[in-house]
Structure 1
Amino acid sequence: MDAGAPSEGWPLDDRGVAYGDGLFETVLVRDGAPRLWEYHLARLARGCRVLGIPMPAEHELERPLAQAGEGVMVLKLIVTRGSGGRGYAPPAAPAPRLRWQLSPLVPDAARWKVGVRVRHCRLRLGLQPALAGLKHLNRLENVLARGEWSEADIAEGLLCDGEERLVEATCMNLFWQRGGRLETPRLDRCGVAGTLRAVLLERLPIAEVDAAPGVLAVAEAVWLGNSVQGLWPVARLDGAGGEALQRWTIGAVHRRLQAVAHEPLGYPTRLDD
């Protein structure tokens, strides 16, 4: 295992650089302690099994935490297959490369309190069940989708797959309540299975469903969430052309799910004070 900080550089023949042949995790770190660590390790281990990359030792993954210090930070871990192989053919005995970066984080508390404006994206995610749920390095679909808007007051874009099913936002998972039932898109064809999503699925009766975008028109509440930003209630949904499709008043139903999501992250669980 070749382990080091990103400042030490990437060889041009690294397969992660050349092909996106690798995985990454973004971990919330509070006063040197990683949040949802076991969930991040489990997702990384699953990704390594699927891609056939040896999993880094836990002590190597934990090494950057010694530099975190006090306060709130984000640890980005990147694991690639390393160098070698001929063309796309992977090396018979991979020598993985681990790189990491620590960055300070100041969450936008206003988004927790008053909610966010989001929009639909025109881009459609490709279906690839073999990679579904993984946080792999090939994120060009997300890059293209995020390039569809530049308005500062639009916080996120919602993505559907090629069969017009809701999947996720560009970097967050999607949740809604319909008829009193909490739901989230099924992620067995594409999309990233977030660690905060995993916690919520364990703690609450959230149904994983196949749903078209129209389901949001009859939802009592909609949220976006991940393990770094926490849970944002959605106040307004726009179409891909910028037209307002739906608005929600942020209320008690939003706060209940936020409280469950924020507790393991160390974020405020009471946001109406």
Structure 2
Amino acid sequence: MHCWIDGQEATAVNLQNRGLAYGDGLFETIAVRGGKPSLLTRHLDRLALGCQRLAIDVDLLLVRNELLQFAQLLGEGVAKLILTRGDSQRGYASAPGAQARRILQGSPLPVYPAQHAELGVRLFPCQTRLAEQPLLAGLKHLNRLEQVLARAEWQDSAYAEGLMRDSQGRVIEGVYSNLFLVRGKVLLTADLSRCGVAGVMRGALLEQAPLSGVVVEVRDLTLEDLQQADEVFVCNSVYGIWPVREFAALNWPAGPLTLKLQAVARTLLDT
């Protein structure tokens, strides 16, 4: 596995790194194909938003250039970009003038069963709830313990993903994906202003769907909305779109709008 820290080959971080101590940082998981990072601009735009929200000072042009070089080296795979506030002594206060640390890790593209995309997946009903914190909502920050706990709830390979709700029971997302519902000709996805990750593929689909005449609504979703859905799918920036065929006692087909957007997602991953 390739690994760079601050643009140099390395295999270890300083024990005083705030990402290690406090989860003080952000990350992006980026598919690399043909030596090029997919959806690069969208990933960097989200990273820039996170840096602004967390007040992390970093040269984003340098980050971009390093990522492009790293992708060429990797060729095919997944580049995980981790950005931390840097190193500091013990205590929550960051050291004045601390330099942000840039970590790049490369790994092979995951191999998923073809039926996930063709026939759809089953969702596990996770009991772990997402806490509400508007200051962090939407960001892909390093504090992922809720997802770690949720993913530990099932070992059965029959489930490819889990469904997560917030503390009020609202339907939010998958453990590592965003969730969409189709009702009639309307595409629905959860409001992420309280919690959840604003996925790069989610954002791209919200822009692309209306170009095909699809009405899009971003709002609070409930289990009742799931029951009334005609189609359901999950998405992320590595695999694109998987139809959801089953959740608890509910079943859905891999419907026409899901399949149409699945083709859109494939094209997006090649850009």
TM-score normalised per structure 1: 0.90
Q: Is the 8 A contact 1:118 1:156 kept in 2?
A: yes
2:217 maps to amino acid: A
User: 1:43 and 2:49 equivalent?
Assistant: no
Residues of 2 paired with 1:147 and 1:22: CA distance? 23
Q: Kindly indicate whether the alpha-carbon contact (under 8 Å) linking 2:31 and 2:237 is maintained by their aligned counterparts in 1.
A: yes
Deviates more, 1:154-163 or 1:79-88: 79-88
Structure 1: gaps spanning 5 or more residues: 239-244, 268-273
Whole-angstrom CA distance in 2 between matches of 1:160 and 1:5 = 40
Cross-structure match for 2:196: 191
- Answering whether residue 222 of structure 2 is matched by residue 209 of structure 1, we say no
The answer to whether the 8 Å contact 1:176/1:183 transfers is yes
Residue 37 of structure 2 is aligned to residue 31 of structure 1:
no
Q: Deviations over 1:208-228 (max 9, x none)?
A: 010112211110000000000
| Greater Cα shift, 216-225 or 248-257 | 248-257
Instruction: Give the 3-state SS of the residue equivalent to 1:88 in structure 2.
Output: coil
What is aligned with 1:270? Answer: none
Contact 2:7 2:66 in 1 (8 A): no
Any gaps of 5 or more consecutive residues in structure 2?
A: 211-215
Letter in 1 for 2:130: L
Deviation digits for residues 229-257 of structure 1 (CA, Å, limit 9, x no counterpart): 1100001112xxxxxx2011224232112
Q: What is the rounded CA distance, in whole Å, between the counterparts of 1:233 and 1:222 in structure 2?
A: 6
**CA deviation vs aligned residue, 1:21-68 (integer Å, no higher than 9, x gap):** 011100011100111000000001111111111234222333312312
User: What is the aligned counterpart of 1:100 among 99, 104, 121?
Assistant: 104
One-letter code aligned to 2:265: A
Query: Equivalent residue for 1:125?
Result: 130
Q: Cα deviation per residue 1:44-98 (whole Å; 9 max; x = unaligned)?
A: 11111111112342223333123122xx311101111111154011222221111
- Of 13, 16, 21, the residue aligned with 2:16 is 13
What is the number of equivalent residue pairs in this alignment? Answer: 258
Q: Give the partner amino acid of 1:64.
A: F
Give the one of 63, 66, 76 matched to 2:69.
63
Matched residue type, 1:192: V
Matched with 1:163 is 168
Could you say which residue in structure 1 is the equivalent of 2:155? 150
**CA-CA distance at 1:4 after TM superposition:** 4.4
For 1:146 and 1:210, the matched residues in 2 are separated by 23
Measure the CA separation in 2 of the matches of 1:18 and 1:246: 42
CA contact (8 A) 1:5 1:101 kept: no
Distance 1:5 1:188, change over 3 A: farther
TM-score by length of 2: 0.90
C-alpha distance in structure 2 between counterparts of 1:174 and 1:46, whole Å: 22
Partner Cα distance (2:126, 2:184) in 1: 26
Q: Could you tell me how far apart the structure 1 residues matched to 2:58 and 2:223 are?
A: 37
> For residues 251 and 95 of structure 1, what CA distance do their matches in structure 2 show?
49
What's 2:252 paired with? 248
Q: Matches of 2:104 and 2:269 in 1, distance apart?
A: 21
Contact 1:28 1:228 in 2 (8 A): yes
Q: CA deviation at 1:107?
A: 3.9
Judging changes above 3 Å, is the alpha-carbon distance between structure 1 residues 6 and 135 closer, same or farther for their aligned structure 2 residues?
farther
Tell me by how many angstroms 1:7 deviates: 4.4
Percent identity between the two aligned chains? 45
- Aligned partner of residue 135 in structure 2, secondary structure: helix
The letter of the residue matching 2:14 is: P
SS at match of 1:63: helix
Aligned to 1:223: 233
- 2:94 and 2:155 map into 1 onto residues whose CA distance is 38
Deviation at 1:106, TM superposition (A): 4.4
Say if 2:78 is the partner of 1:74.
Answer: yes
